[in-house]
Amino acid sequence: MATHRTKKTTAKTDKINFFGHKGQTPQTASQSDAQDGDGDSDSSLPIVDNTQTDQITKSFLEHPLNTLSNKLIASWQQTADAIRNRNHPHDDFPTVKVFNDLSAATLKKRRAFHRIAEALRQHGTRYRWGYPTKMLIQRGGTFKPVHSPEEGARLLKEWGIPLGPSEPTAQPIEKTAREWSAARKRLT
């Protein structure tokens, strides 16, 4: 006798992985099918025990040290990881486009890393930008995160990579037009 599986849905905190099911990969889903022994291999709706994952999610969301920004960064990282993982069987969307954050604030923060980026390029060391504004420097097959220009300068000094001279601060642009002010009232 074949049994039919149903998907268990719970509260809003339910996290579904991008294999389509909570807590399972295609390998574990096929293993649970093989353990049924009923010959029915309906792996599209596996039985999943949500209690442990729900407890972890609930404890994460209720932890006092988790600020809103940490939660947003964690959700962004989960989304980015899911997009990079192309093994999921469900294509709910025909295309997914991901763009870099090129806002003025982000670019301004990245400009602070200019000296470090220039020294890395001259030395032939690879780097990439992390989220939200950090530099990931590749060294020995791993990426070392650098969160501030000061930390980057200290790291380059440890590695023996010379850091170029600091650039002089930009001079204010001279005004070419006369400044206008409000006209005074005429006394009549």
Per-residue pLDDT tens for 81-90? 777 776 665 6
State the DSSP H helix or E strand holding residue 138, giving kind and residue range, or none if neither.
strand 134-139
Answer whether 34's CB lies under 8 Å from 56's CB: no
Q: Is the pTM of this model over 0.85?
A: no
Our CA dihedral for 77, 78, 82, 88, rounded to 10 degrees, sits at 170
Rounded-to-integer distance, Cα 108 and Cα 110, Å: 5
Percent of the chain with pLDDT over 90: 8
Which of helix, strand or coil describes residue 93?
coil
Q: Is the pLDDT of residue 173 over 60?
A: no
Which residues contact residue 29 at a Cβ distance below 8 angstroms, ignoring those fewer than 6 apart?
Answer: 19, 21, 43, 46
Q: Is the pLDDT of residue 13 over 50?
A: no
Place of tokens 């032939």: 124
- Give the pLDDT confidence score for residue 154 in this predicted structure: 92
Q: What is the mean pLDDT of residues 138-167?
A: 86
- Give the pLDDT confidence score for residue 157 in this predicted structure: 92
Q: Is the pLDDT of residue 16 over 70?
A: no
Query: Among positive and negative, which fits the CA dihedral 35, 40, 43, 45?
Result: negative
Domains (ranges, CATH) in the chain?
1-98 (no CATH), 104-159 (3.30.250.20)
Rounded-to-integer distance, Cα 135 and Cα 107, Å: 13
